[in-house]
A and B are shown apart, each in its own frame.
Chain A
């Protein structure tokens, strides 16, 4: 029952993956001196794509709009920063499971409190919990206050005593992030197409009907909340490795707002859309920052325009290009079947 997308979606995504993955080959030729800097930006985009994708499970698939997703992103960053030894690298074999465990426990605790709430209440409570952690880390003496915590060494990847990957090499780190993004994507694609994903789809459409059919919907939503939080924490950990520090801003509500922007720009409920959205957002940010110091005004206007004229995002354009919509009604049906659009039409009728 889950939406099958036109072939061009897979084609575009694979092409994009190839372009990004082979950047170290063509980057220096195109960007010259700037290529290392662009590689850093690209790594960040990949990390943010994972972050945005994790939120899509919640917002696009289940229909729970969270304005506190940065909580888990920041939690991943802080867990790594605080658990790392001061004068030697931590082991990624330990750090990754630790970050996932901490995020899962946090998501479970927060989730139990917020999952019963709906719509606007969910938005407000997730926002408040995000801010709670924000104030906790920016005032607590253990977390370095507003300065945050520095990470002196990137975690190492070793087999026994032999180092496998050199994380301080930007290329190696870039590929680590890319591999995690691809794994995350395949996992979410599998999840949304599984039986569990179909139940989530049903909850998005009509939770009462699912309850009447005997599904314990709160449990299903809670699991989605935890999975989403864990993926976001992995992205946060990678971001902390990239920057070399964990900072309160990483879990402030502006970060939560930005990741929602990536979602809407890319097209929610599609899993692949948020990846495009994260790239688009970062590229726009890069361009706007170069144009003017007052770039937030351009970003704000961009998001307003996107909400008003392009609610399905870039993914919507790819799935159903405007020039095809009138000619082939079959595509139109396909679009109408995607969760994000369905919720829109439902509200219109109601």
Chain B
């Protein structure tokens, strides 16, 4: 492995890790604040990708498609939260697992009914459809750099909201003691709806911007869900910071794993998780 190749891999790992962070941050927020384990999170990632593919086909413009798809994703989150999750907050995790598992079945099958089982792709949109010439035979896609930038900006945005705004104070307090926050007269109901919609929309948005980089397949949500679970477990459930570093770590492991240890590639992230759990059973940042 020469240096340029190593550098490209490093960038790929970083880009994948940042994308994972977008999905995992929603997952960890929804659990940390609402105490809900949302298995349908990966399905929303898939929905995001399909929405953008469909809208790009119809409108002929990727950016317009994203602008239209985001409110749809938020609305979907709103509907799911109000319709199904509302009654589950006080119940055992088992019921949340089962209900969101049921949602996966419904969403996955709805996807099949609406869009079919074919594999699709979205062209890399202008003005990012160029690549940088790194060495004579190594190029790097500008769109990947753009995705990195967007993810970093969003991560910074999330950090700022949680650290420096009144909403952030409520979110942090809610993660520590929900009942106390409610006792202080804050409408937890509305907060939950907001957190869930935003969290789910983040996952869908990750699917949207990832659409030009990956093939859009019916099962894409399931595999990313499990990876994000590993991220959240490693980082510590409910911790945004943990989700960030966990995502970077797993992104790197998934990128370098197949190159360095091909025989164990698919298991690397689980081995990392097992190692982390042995040392810190509650995750690195919890």
Contacts and interface: CB of A to CB of B under 8 A. Distances in A.
A125 B233 contact: yes
A220 interface: no
Interface in A291-307: 294, 296-297, 299-304, 306-307
Interface in A320-350: 343-344, 347-348
Contact of A347 (B92, B102, B265, B270): B92
Interface of B: 31, 37, 39, 84, 87-88, 90-95, 97-99, 101-106, 108-110, 112-113, 222, 226, 229-230, 232-233, 237, 265-267, 270-271, 273-274, 277-278, 281-282
A307 B273 CA distance: 31
A121 B270 contact: no
A215 B271 CA distance: 31
Contacts of B92: 65, 343-344, 347
A116 B109 contact: no
Chain A's interface: helix, strand, loop or mixed, by majority? helix
B226 A131 contact: yes
A268 to B, nearest CB: 8
Between A65, A113, A119, the greatest number of chain B beta carbons within 10 A of the residue's beta carbon is seen for: A65
B106 A120 contact: no
Nearest to A253: B226
B99 A304 contact: yes
Contact of B98 (A121, A260, A347): A260
Contacts of B101: 257, 260-261, 303
A348 B95 CA distance: 14
- Among B88, B106, B113, B232, find the residue whose CB has the most chain A CB atoms closer than 10 A: B106
Contact of B266 (A129, A135, A306, A348): A135
Nearest to B232: A124
Nearest to A67: B97
A260 B277 CA distance: 25
B277 A117 contact: yes
Contacts of A306: 98
Contacts of B232: 124
Interface residues of A, number: 46
Given A260-B97, A296-B105, A135 B267 contact: yes
B270 to A, nearest CB: 4
B106 A301 contact: yes
A158 interface: no
Contacts of A300: 102-106, 109
Nearest to B227: A131
B108 A124 contact: no
A123 interface: yes
B248 to A, nearest CB: 18
A125 B281 CA distance: 10
Nearest to A117: B281
Contacts of B273: 125, 128
B98 A128 contact: no
Contact of B99 (A117, A294, A303, A347): A303
B196 to A, nearest CB: 16
A311 B105 contact: no
A59 interface: yes
B98 A120 contact: no
5 contacts: A65-B97, A113-B274, A123-B93, A123-B97, A297-B106
B32 to A, nearest CB: 10
- 8 tightest A-B CB contacts, nearest first: A300-B105, A132-B270, A303-B102, A300-B106, A135-B266, A297-B109, A304-B102, A296-B109
Nearest to B89: A347
A65 B108 contact: no
A331 to B, nearest CB: 22
Contacts of B271: 132
A65 B226 contact: no
A344 B93 contact: no
A260 B94 contact: yes
B279 to A, nearest CB: 11
A128 B99 contact: no
B281 A301 contact: no
A164 interface: no
A257 B102 CA distance: 9
A187 to B, nearest CB: 24
Nearest to B99: A307
A17 interface: no
Contacts of B84: 304, 308
Given A260-B94, A300-B109, A344-B92, A131 B282 contact: no
A181 B90 CA distance: 35
A322 B105 CA distance: 30
B93 A120 contact: yes
A308 B83 CA distance: 11
A194 interface: no
A59 B87 CA distance: 21
Contact of A303 (B31, B87, B90, B98): B98
Nearest to B278: A113
B124 to A, nearest CB: 30
Contacts of A123: 37, 93, 97
A343 B92 CA distance: 7
Given A113-B278, A297-B110, A307 B102 contact: yes
Interface in A103-118: 113-114, 116-117
A136 interface: yes
Contacts of B37: 120, 123-124
Contacts of B88: 307
A311 B270 contact: no
A261 B94 CA distance: 10
Nearest to B104: A300
A344 B109 contact: no
B237 A121 contact: yes
A124 B233 contact: yes
